[in-house]
């Protein structure tokens, strides 16, 4: 991506497929060597499980988001609004509640692939890299489950409006 940007080479496949997919795998798989390092430092197998949990939860979260965005595109609900990472820009509520504001802040500033490096640095600086694994394993699991619940409610509501039987 950086070389393409430097050369001013733009392609839809790069912006909408190659870059997001490479980010998804790079930032998901980074938990594995971190967990191995914590395992070797502590001897606790729990950190291996946490690393794999964070990896699987991050990939599951992205899979849910991508499939939901595909459905929105198919329904024509996206309006063609896409951000710099090729993801659909959702219309936010005009007066979001406190839970939605916290979620939006965390999703944008902490759980987005490109923003995970600063928390990792801060946890490492504090000599608490194991907390980093706990935070992201729990965080991505919670976000993935919240997305799943929200998407199921959205689909159920759309199906009721269309009088489509639930499968």
26-82 pLDDT, tens digit each: 888 899 999 999 999 999 999 999 999 999 999 998 888 888 887 877 766 655 455
- Residue 77 three-state SS: coil
Distance CA 127, CA 82 (A): 38
Residue 130: its pLDDT value, please? 94
Query: C-alpha 116: how far from its chain's center?
Result: 11
Distance CA 159, CA 144 (A): 22
User: Residues 93-114: what's their mean pLDDT?
Assistant: 81
**Is residue 55 packed enough to be buried (19+ CB in 10 Å), middle (13-18) or exposed (0-12)?**
buried
Using the predicted structure, report yes or no on whether residue 90 has a pLDDT greater than 80: no
Residue 5: its pLDDT value, please? 60
Residue 1: its pLDDT value, please? 60
Residue 163: its pLDDT value, please? 72
Residues with Cβ within 8 Å of 26's Cβ and at least 6 positions away in sequence, in order, are 113
Q: Which of the four pLDDT bands, split at 50, 70 and 90, describes residue 14?
A: low
Q: What are phi and psi of 82, to 5 degrees?
A: -130, 140
Specify the higher pLDDT residue, 38 or 90: 38
Q: Tell me the pLDDT of the chain averaged across its residues.
A: 81
Residue 21: its pLDDT value, please? 74
Q: What are phi and psi of 51, to 5 degrees?
A: -60, -45
- Residue 87 three-state SS: coil
**Is residue 137 packed enough to be buried (19+ CB in 10 Å), middle (13-18) or exposed (0-12)?**
buried
Bridge partners, residue 82, by sequence: 88
């Amino acid at each position: 991506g950086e070389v393409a940007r430097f050369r001013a080479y733009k392609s839809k496949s790069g912006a909408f497929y190659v870059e997001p997919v490479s980010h998804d795998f790079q930032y998901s798989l980074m938990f594995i060597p971190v967990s191995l390092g914590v395992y070797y430092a502590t001897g606790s197998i729990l950190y291996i499980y946490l690393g794999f949990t964070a990896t699987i939860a991050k990939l599951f979260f992205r899979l849910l988001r991508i499939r939901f965005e595909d459905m929105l595109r198919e329904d024509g609900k996206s309006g063609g609004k896409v951000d710099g990472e090729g993801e659909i820009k959702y219309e936010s509520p005009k007066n979001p509640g406190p839970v939605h504001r916290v979620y939006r802040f965390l999703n944008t500033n902490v759980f987005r692939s490109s923003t995970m490096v600063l928390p990792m640095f801060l946890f490492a600086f504090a000599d608490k890299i194991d907390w980093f694994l706990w935070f992201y394993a729990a965080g991505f699991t919670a976000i993935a489950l919240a997305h799943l619940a929200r998407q199921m409610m959205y689909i159920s509501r759309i199906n009721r409006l269309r009088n489509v039987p639930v499968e």
